[in-house]
Structure 1
């Protein structure tokens, strides 16, 4: 019943067109003004860098990260305002089919994936120590920690509320089924990462990972009838990545504890999460939360509006 929560607000097609435009302006126009203004000021008439490495070098990695993540706060606010003002829908109905947000679910998914991520990084440090250098510097790391804890959950929530929330519900009630929004939002989520430096370095094969991650998050949302697990997982994924390992070719070029100095290449390691780890996580969640009727929840038709209102 998660997608059907959109019926509790106004859901005409034109409202989603206006909503998407409003969210884009809030996120990518208004939200980018602090970063662009600071870059212009710091450039002092010189050519302003447009790549992540150049902007981080000009501003300092922590300031650049703060301003980059700040844009997601504007994006999340724009999403919430669009839902409230354009669709007259409650935020809780955008979040879950339950009567209230289940924060225990958010916390469980966060802790589970944070622990697994730390173990995987630790294992790689043990078996491939030549690929890493110890990069820990107390003062910049403490600033990084504060920025990450405060803004990474906002960044990931912005993406989840837009992808698995607003678009999943909107496309679902327009398509009248569940598989179309699942596929489309997964593809959009992957394409949004197309400009990441990892893709430029490793090639388009990495899109299998991003699209696969979007599919995993979408399946989790539809099976659990809410965003809670996706919110927790996504926040843990980005926060552990930010704090533990950085590299010269990643989206997060910051003062993490370790720096990856290996020469990156597409290998089976890229696909292990999509083919092995994500299915295992879905199995764990299914057992814990009693998921049933997989076919109906992932590909069934949307119930009529009259059965909701």
Structure 2
């Protein structure tokens, strides 16, 4: 990577002699800081005070909790209805004891993904009611999602994810083909992939869209608008059932992925690439190579769960190194100008005279 200039967030030359890492350095990669500045400026079209951001995020979390609880309640009802069709009659309370068993099935997985995807509704409510602006403002600098970037990013991260999982399973002598019939897996592939898209895009909408955009408009320092959403996103993946070193490795890998998604949004001023990357990553993790004890029912291949007590610290360290190396490779394919999968981000070049500087005051 070769340094070719120092710029402010609107793409103008920076005469201050430096700046934050995420905001001031334009590399010979396919990065467009003026597009990210225009993306941030859209938060200023509504009411974007710090208290509103905090209240908005809390409301989105509450929406998620409400739908998660609803899924937990609906799950046993679905089980009872299914048994009723088969002529089995048992008290409803017994089905709540089997709720855990329901959520590890493909139907339960779809219900879980759907509940997470309902953060779309929570984000829409917060943006419209709390911030008084449109949900489309979160899509990109021109209020449109780049589907070209979605497709290119999906292709890159799907291949990289498959390679990563294959290497991970090569470390596991117990890895094998799952008991799921190939025909059943194929029939469930499309609908479950759509649920995964719903869930993964909702997470990106909240963390790399709403939270990152809103914070960047209020606070000029990257350790607020970039580090804070990445940290929260990572901690939400805490797995207390795993060994300490495997939990640490999982969190580290999640943090690496979260930083990569932040870079994609910064480089393009659009959520399209992050949507595609996250969707591809989750399809590989849930439908191709199942390595989580809670979500193995839909996977084509299964191996030793990450919660298994036989994983060693060395294997955990190798997992982190592998994650860093392959994530860097995926970013290179996405951001290098000569890559066939290079990202374009915002198609309409923003007018720098209309760009609002990051951190500019807003109500």
The bucket for the TM-score relative to the shorter chain is 0.7 to 0.9
Residue 14 of structure 1 is matched in structure 2 by 51
Residue 132 of structure 1 is matched in structure 2 by 175
Aligned-partner Cα distance in 2 for 1:275–1:60: 30
Q: Offset at 1:239?
A: 0.7
Task: For structure 1, list consecutive stretches of 5 or more residues without a partner in the other structure.
Answer: 292-300
Residue 129 of structure 2 is matched in structure 1 by 85
**Under a length normalisation based on structure 1, what TM-score does the superposition of the two structures give?**
0.81
Matched, 1:102 2:146: yes
Q: Offset at 1:37?
A: 3.5
Residue 232 of structure 1 is matched in structure 2 by 276
Change in CA separation of 1:36 and 1:200 when aligned onto 2, cut-off 3 Å: farther
Change in CA separation of 1:281 and 1:59 when aligned onto 2, cut-off 3 Å: closer
Query: Which of 332, 346, 350 lines up with 1:283 in the alignment?
Result: 332
Q: Offset at 1:156?
A: 0.5
Contact (CA 8 Å) 2:146, 2:270: kept in 1 or not?
no
Task: For structure 2, list consecutive stretches of 5 or more residues without a partner in the other structure.
Answer: 1-36, 81-90, 345-356
**Under a length normalisation based on structure 2, what TM-score does the superposition of the two structures give?**
0.70
Query: Which of 258, 266, 271 lines up with 2:301 in the alignment?
Result: 258
Contact (CA 8 Å) 1:140, 1:255: kept in 2 or not?
no
Matched, 1:34 2:71: yes
1:130 partner SS: coil
Change in CA separation of 1:123 and 1:17 when aligned onto 2, cut-off 3 Å: closer
Residue 45 of structure 1 is matched in structure 2 by 93
Contact (CA 8 Å) 2:208, 2:229: kept in 1 or not?
yes
Residue 319 of structure 2 is matched in structure 1 by 270
Aligned residues: 291
Comparing 8-17 with 212-221, which one deviates more in the overlay?
A: 8-17
Q: Offset at 1:35?
A: 2.5
Q: Offset at 1:234?
A: 0.3
2:173 partner SS: helix
1:203-254 residue CA offsets vs partner (Å, 9 max, x unmatched): 334311112211121122112222211111000000122111224x444221
Q: Offset at 1:283?
A: 2.6
Change in CA separation of 1:179 and 1:134 when aligned onto 2, cut-off 3 Å: same
Change in CA separation of 1:201 and 1:141 when aligned onto 2, cut-off 3 Å: farther
Q: Offset at 1:7?
A: 0.9
Aligned-partner Cα distance in 2 for 1:137–1:196: 32
Change in CA separation of 1:17 and 1:129 when aligned onto 2, cut-off 3 Å: closer
Q: Offset at 1:55?
A: 4.2
Change in CA separation of 1:88 and 1:271 when aligned onto 2, cut-off 3 Å: same
Change in CA separation of 1:58 and 1:286 when aligned onto 2, cut-off 3 Å: closer
Change in CA separation of 1:60 and 1:184 when aligned onto 2, cut-off 3 Å: closer
Q: Offset at 1:95?
A: 1.6
What RMSD, in angstroms, separates the aligned Cα atoms of the two structures? 3.0
Change in CA separation of 1:147 and 1:252 when aligned onto 2, cut-off 3 Å: farther
Q: Offset at 1:106?
A: 0.5
1:17-57 residue CA offsets vs partner (Å, 9 max, x unmatched): 332232122111134303233237758434945xxxx7452
Residue 248 of structure 2 is matched in structure 1 by 204
